Amino acid sequence: MCDYSLEMYRSRPAQAGESLTTTRFPSGSIGLADSADPGCAVCMGEGTRLELNLSGHPEFAARHGLREIELATFTRLESGIYRDGVRFDSGVELSLQQIPCGVGVKFVDVVAEVGVDPTQPQQLREPVCTHDGTVVMPAIVPAMVMFPSR
């Protein structure tokens, strides 16, 4: 998931174990990038577990009640202009735009969202276009949609 504000830049998906940095792109938006290729936005999937190194930003960490090294989950925020965010294990939820540039971010793992039973169908967050072109809205579509074969 890369915020719409980064669509104009080259991008690629993140890889497990990768170390990235919060970076301000020329548009002014903050995203994740690899120091070897700072012009390429690195996109995280929702539910990705991250380790953030806030050691270079003690005032930011203190303001939000965070430690030097914090675990968080990459998430899609439900409100605001920017939707990419992180939910720290402490419960603090911030837009990626609120995190200072230069914070080290390590891709730890991908896990299901807290409180979600992976054996049960989940509600989709975006409309789905079916095989016949019908658009189905998320409030009425389970994630495990099965389409009849022709």
Judge if 94 and 138 occupy the same domain: no
Judge if 90 and 127 occupy the same domain: no
Judge if 88 and 128 occupy the same domain: no
Q: What is the CA radius of gyration of the chain?
A: 17
> Percentage of the chain surpassing pLDDT 90?
49
String of DSSP letters for 95-122: EGGGSPTT-EEEEEEE-PPTT--TTS--
Judge if 125 and 103 occupy the same domain: no
To the question of pTM greater than 0.75 for the whole model, the response is: no
Domain range spanning residue 140? 121-150
Query: For the purposes of burial, counting CB atoms within 10 Å of the CB of 128, is it exposed (0-12), middle (13-18) or buried (19 or more)?
Result: middle
**Does the residue 115 lie in any domain?**
no
Dist. CA 71–CA 61, nearest whole Å? 13
Please count the structural domains in the chain: 2
Judge if 69 and 130 occupy the same domain: no
Judge if 10 and 72 occupy the same domain: yes
Q: Which residue would you say has higher pLDDT here, 51 or 140?
A: 51
**Does the residue 94 lie in any domain?**
yes
Q: 3-state DSSP call for residue 13?
A: strand
Q: 3-state DSSP call for residue 18?
A: coil
Judge if 67 and 138 occupy the same domain: no
Per-residue model confidence as pLDDT tens digits over 116-129: 444 444 444 444 44
**Does the residue 116 lie in any domain?**
no
**Does the residue 102 lie in any domain?**
yes
Quick one: tokens of 123? 């509600």
Judge if 37 and 79 occupy the same domain: yes
Judge if 102 and 131 occupy the same domain: no
Q: 3-state DSSP call for residue 6?
A: helix
Judge if 62 and 99 occupy the same domain: yes
Dist. CA 124–CA 6, nearest whole Å? 23
Is the separation of the CB atoms in 93 and 32 below 8 Å? Answer: no
Dist. CA 116–CA 73, nearest whole Å? 14
Judge if 98 and 125 occupy the same domain: no
Q: What share of the chain is helix, strand, coil (3-state, %, to 5)?
A: 10, 35, 55
**Does the residue 49 lie in any domain?**
yes
Per-residue model confidence as pLDDT tens digits over 21-78: 999 999 999 999 998 999 999 998 889 999 999 999 999 999 999 999 999 999 988 8
Judge if 91 and 137 occupy the same domain: no
**Does the residue 144 lie in any domain?**
yes
